[in-house]
């Protein structure tokens, strides 16, 4: 059995002459309505809406469907009043409503909204906006044309795309949140969040334990920031949840820790809701038209819960997985060793030309080994060959490596570089063999 504690505050603000906001606290139903229309019509609209919501909701068993129908009846009431009275033509109102519905383990906080009044949730110290505004700037944000920060100060931020009272029927957005002990739901008109930053609001909600004190403090801050609009706040605290959160935490305690602290906080809330759905296995699925609560993603978490309940299957699968990984790693190592050792190359051992077994430079920790020295030194081979020898000339077998060394010897014998030329060269270049490249004939192209 969920127990709630409620605080509320409303204020005309510093600029407006009348307070056209209205609020409803009729446990388990709560709402905020922000009316609009000339000559006090806004106040008529918001009052008509909350009264119609109250009577329609309480005429049925508390349920998400009852809340949705209540908001539709509120729309109808405002529409009918405007049709009946020419002075009220065009009036309308927003509505943000929350109701504790269901029973036992199936209790949920049902949330509905039309317009730009909002419902927020403070959980584990983090404030999240549950509803989405029906406003022009929110459409721009959704399509990527504006950032949320730009929308907050946009000159067209007061243009609404959906309100109650503009047509005989209205589309209502709904959300579901599993209420947990410590949750604090905030319903507010734009006179609050238009003046007070969400971070400041979150700070107040964390600091003031009593919901009435917190609501009054939020109104005081909105006035201190300019009070340009009517300000209305309803706070609904979950002071007991029938140990729903305790049972979820007990299940979560079996889970391994998360990788980072930041993710842990987010995941814990989501995971806890997922665990609650596990516990509430008899719960009927949400209607298809109900928006999924952004704080409670489903899917993967259900699988995780199964793994927690059957640890022996995890152990077997982990062992099998490790064995497969080791086999793959062993095969890879063998292939690498074969590749690294199954070759020879002709290279340099200081000044001497040598034949090695392996790959030049080695592969991983398989280093090449010296097989034999040839009778050649770096002075005996053409400079163009030296570059190749420095890198290592790879051959598929020892025989091929020896043949390559033989060709180097043949080339060296055919060079016949005059001594005087080399001396001149040394005088000019400081003794390098590099300039004598002009005298080297092209290497033989045919294999002996
Ligand atoms: Mg307003």
Place 435 in a pLDDT band, splitting at 50, 70 and 90: very low
CA of 100 relative to ligand 1 center, distance in Å: 25
CA of 33 relative to ligand 1 center, distance in Å: 9
CA of 50 relative to ligand 1 center, distance in Å: 16
Both tokens of residue 90? 């065009």
**pLDDT (0 to 100) of residue 446:** 47
Question: In this structure, is the dihedral angle defined by the CA atoms of residues 269, 273, 276 and 278, taken in order, positive or negative?
Answer: negative
For the ranges 140-144, 227-231, 337-341, the lowest mean pLDDT is seen at 337-341
CA of 131 relative to ligand 1 center, distance in Å: 16
Closest by Cα among 341, 339, 321, 340 to 329? 321
CA of 80 relative to ligand 1 center, distance in Å: 22
CA of 446 relative to ligand 1 center, distance in Å: 93
| Tens digit of each residue's pLDDT (9 = 90 or more) over 161-184 | 999 999 999 999 999 999 999 999
pTM: 0.59
Both tokens of residue 202? 């979150």
Please give the residue that has the higher pLDDT: either 297 or 238. 238
CA of 200 relative to ligand 1 center, distance in Å: 19
> Quick count: other Cβ atoms within 10 Å of Cβ 206?
14
CB of 93 within 8 A of CB of 35? yes
| Tens digit of each residue's pLDDT (9 = 90 or more) over 374-408 | 988 888 887 778 888 888 999 988 989 988 888 88
**pLDDT (0 to 100) of residue 262:** 35
CA of 364 relative to ligand 1 center, distance in Å: 70
Longest pairwise C-alpha distance within the chain:
120
Both tokens of residue 174? 């709904």
Please give the residue that has the higher pLDDT: either 31 or 410. 31
Both tokens of residue 148? 């949320």
CA of 20 relative to ligand 1 center, distance in Å: 8
Question: In this structure, is the dihedral angle defined by the CA atoms of residues 399, 402, 404 and 406, taken in order, positive or negative?
Answer: negative
Query: HSE (CB half, 13 Å, CA atoms) of 70?
Result: 32
CA of 21 relative to ligand 1 center, distance in Å: 7
CA of 101 relative to ligand 1 center, distance in Å: 28
CA of 181 relative to ligand 1 center, distance in Å: 31
CA of 231 relative to ligand 1 center, distance in Å: 7
Measure the CA–CA gap between 154 and 388, rounded to whole angstroms: 69
> Quick count: other Cβ atoms within 10 Å of Cβ 366?
16
Pairing between β-strand 369-377 and β-strand 118-123 as defined by DSSP bridges = unpaired
Measure the CA–CA gap between 5 and 55, rounded to whole angstroms: 22
pLDDT of 286 over the 70 cut: no
pLDDT of 281 over the 80 cut: no
CA of 193 relative to ligand 1 center, distance in Å: 10
Side by side, the strands of the sheet bearing 344-349 are 369-377, 352-357, 344-349, 393-395
CA of 44 relative to ligand 1 center, distance in Å: 14
The vertex-28 CA angle with 25 and 32, nearest 5°, equals 35
Question: In this structure, is the dihedral angle defined by the CA atoms of residues 403, 409, 413 and 415, taken in order, positive or negative?
Answer: positive
The DSSP code sequence of 258-322 is PSSHHHHHHHHHHHHHHHHHHHTTTPPPPPTTSPPPTT---SHHHHHHHHHH-HHHHHHHHHHHH
Q: What is the DSSP letter of 108?
A: E
CA of 161 relative to ligand 1 center, distance in Å: 15
**pLDDT (0 to 100) of residue 256:** 55
Q: What are the percentages of helix, strand and coil residues in the chain, rounded to 5? A: 45, 20, 35
CB of 232 within 8 A of CB of 188? yes
CA of 115 relative to ligand 1 center, distance in Å: 10
CA of 204 relative to ligand 1 center, distance in Å: 21
The DSSP code sequence of 154-209 is -TTTT-BS--BTSSSS---EEEEE---TT-EEEEE-HHHHTTS-HHHHHHHHHH--
Q: Which residues contact 251 (CB under 8 A, 6 or more apart)?
A: 275, 278, 279, 305, 308
**pLDDT (0 to 100) of residue 273:** 55
Helix axis angle for 198-207 and 211-224, nearest 10°, is 150
> Quick count: other Cβ atoms within 10 Å of Cβ 316?
10
CA of 9 relative to ligand 1 center, distance in Å: 14
The vertex-278 CA angle with 178 and 242, nearest 5°, equals 50
CA of 63 relative to ligand 1 center, distance in Å: 28
* φ/ψ of residue 304, rounded to 5: -60, -40
CA of 189 relative to ligand 1 center, distance in Å: 6
CA of 288 relative to ligand 1 center, distance in Å: 31
């Amino acid at each position: 059995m969920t127990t709630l504690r409620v605080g509320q505050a409303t204020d005309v603000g510093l600029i407006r002459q009348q307070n056209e906001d209205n609020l409803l606290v009729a446990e388990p139903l709560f709402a905020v309505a922000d009316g609009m229309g000339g000559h006090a019509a806004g106040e008529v609209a918001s009052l008509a809406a909350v009264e119609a919501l109250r009577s329609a909701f309480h005429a049925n068993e508390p349920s998400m469907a009852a809340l949705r129908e209540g908001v539709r009846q509120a729309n109808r009431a405002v529409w009918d009043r405007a049709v009946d009275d020419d002075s009220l033509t065009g009036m309308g109102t927003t509505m943000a409503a929350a109701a504790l519905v269901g029973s036992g383990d199936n209790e949920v906080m049902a949330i509905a909204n039309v317009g730009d009044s909002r419902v927020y949730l403070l959980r584990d110290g983090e404030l999240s906006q549950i509803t989405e505004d029906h406003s022009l700037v929110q459409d721009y944000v959704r399509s990527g044309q504006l950032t949320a920060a730009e929308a907050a100060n946009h000159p067209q931020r007061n243009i609404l795309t959906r309100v109650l009272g503009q047509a005989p029927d209205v589309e209502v957005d709904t959300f579901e949140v599993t209420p947990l002990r410590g949750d604090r739901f905030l319903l507010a008109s734009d006179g609050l969040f238009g003046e007070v930053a969400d971070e400041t609001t979150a700070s107040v909600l964390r600091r003031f334990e009593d919901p009435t004190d917190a609501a009054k403090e939020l109104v005081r801050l909105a006035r201190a920031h300019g009070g340009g609009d009517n300000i209305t706040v309803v706070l609904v605290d979950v002071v007991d949840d029938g140990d729903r959160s305790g049972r979820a935490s007990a299940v979560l305690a079996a889970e391994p820790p998360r990788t980072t602290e930041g993710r842990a906080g987010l995941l814990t809330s989501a995971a806890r809701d997922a665990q609650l759905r596990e516990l509430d296995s008899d719960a009927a699925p949400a209607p298809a038209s109900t928006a999924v609560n952004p704080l409670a993603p489903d899917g993967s978490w259900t699988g995780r819960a199964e793994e927690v309940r059957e640890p022996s299957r995890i152990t077997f699968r982990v062992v099998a997985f490790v064995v497969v990984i080791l086999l793959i790693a062993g095969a890879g190592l063998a292939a690498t060793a074969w590749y690294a050792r199954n070759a020879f190359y002709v290279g340099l051992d200081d000044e001497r030309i040598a034949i090695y077994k392996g790959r030049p430079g080695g592969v991983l920790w398989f280093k090449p080994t010296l097989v034999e020295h040839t009778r050649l030194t770096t002075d005996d081979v053409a400079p163009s060959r030296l570059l190749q020898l420095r890198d290592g000339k790879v051959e598929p077998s020892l025989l091929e490596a020896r043949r390559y060394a033989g060709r180097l010897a043949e080339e060296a014998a055919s060079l016949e570089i005059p001594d005087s030329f080399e001396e001149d060269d040394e005088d000019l270049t400081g003794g390098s063999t590099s300039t004598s490249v002009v005298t080297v004939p092209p290497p033989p192209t045919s294999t002996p």
